[in-house]
């Protein structure tokens, strides 16, 4: 199902476990900060709405999406977090650089999930243009940050 066919911000709170006992890390890319701050707001608000405590949400910033893998790895190995949300916005430019940044970031975060002990949520928008990014970070298609927060809570409580 394409994003255009769903609302990224939609969730049934009654089906989401309470997050009050868990610690969440959020690593935020500074590239396209208009977008990544919107994603962060969506994730932060959803975590609090589902019971997470403000003092249990740790935020670090990194320069760009390519640095998300290292930032998440450093956070998960040095901090007592139960899940990490990686937030980025990659927007197509004139060259193939978009492909390399998106591919490397997706692979790096997947590797953290395969080799690590806690879930790392892929909250990285990979859009053709700014409008698409705006629509998915609090616009008409909702907020992928909200979706990522719900995914983090579900993964932390998996099997409980």
Ligand X SMILES: CC(=O)[C@@H](O)COP(=O)(O)O
Ligand Y SMILES: Nc1c(NC[C@H](O)[C@H](O)[C@H](O)CO)[nH]c(=O)[nH]c1=O
Kindly state whether residue 153 participates in binding ligand Y, applying the rule CB under 6 A. Answer: no
147 is in an annotated binding site: no
60 is in an annotated binding site: no
Rounded to the nearest whole angstrom, what is the least distance from the CB of residue 69 to ligand X in the complex?
Answer: 16
Rounded to the nearest whole angstrom, what is the least distance from the CB of residue 129 to ligand Y in the complex?
Answer: 11
Kindly state whether residue 66 participates in binding ligand Y, applying the rule CB under 6 A. Answer: yes
- How far is Cα 26 from Cα 61, in angstroms, rounded to an integer? 8
Kindly state whether residue 50 participates in binding ligand Y, applying the rule CB under 6 A. Answer: no
- How far is Cα 38 from Cα 143, in angstroms, rounded to an integer? 8
Longest dimension (CA), the chain: 47
Instruction: Select from 29, 112, 30, 44 the least CA-distant residue to 77.
Output: 112
Among 2, 55, 93, 158, binds ligand X (CB under 6 A): 93
Kindly state whether residue 31 participates in binding ligand Y, applying the rule CB under 6 A. Answer: yes
Question: ∠ CA 142-147-148 to the nearest 5 degrees?
Answer: 135
Kindly state whether residue 64 participates in binding ligand Y, applying the rule CB under 6 A. Answer: yes
Choosing among ligand Y, ligand X, none, which partner's interface includes residue 66 (Cβ < 5 to 8 Å by kind)? Answer: ligand Y
Rounded to the nearest whole angstrom, what is the least distance from the CB of residue 37 to ligand Y in the complex?
Answer: 13
Active-site annotation holds for 97:
yes
Per CB under 6 A, residues contacting ligand X are 90-91, 93-95, 97-98, 101
């Amino acid at each position: 199902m394409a994003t255009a066919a769903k609302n990224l911000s939609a969730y049934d709170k009654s089906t989401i476990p309470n997050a009050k006992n868990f610690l969440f890390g959020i690593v935020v890319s500074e590239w396209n900060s208009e977008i990544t701050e919107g994603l962060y707001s969506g994730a932060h608000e959803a975590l609090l709405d589902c019971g997470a405590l403000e003092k249990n949400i740790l935020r670090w910033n990194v320069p760009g999406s390519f640095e998300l893998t290292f930032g998440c790895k450093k956070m998960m190995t040095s901090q007592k977090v139960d899940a990490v949300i990686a937030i980025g916005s990659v927007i197509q430019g004139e060259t193939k650089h978009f492909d390399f940044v998106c591919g490397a970031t997706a692979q790096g975060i997947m590797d953290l999930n395969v080799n690590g002990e806690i879930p790392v949520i892929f909250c990285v928008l990979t859009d053709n243009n700014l409008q698409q990014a705006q629509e998915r970070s609090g616009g008409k298609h909702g907020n992928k940050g909200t979706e990522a927060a719900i995914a983090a809570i579900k993964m932390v409580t998996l099997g409980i």
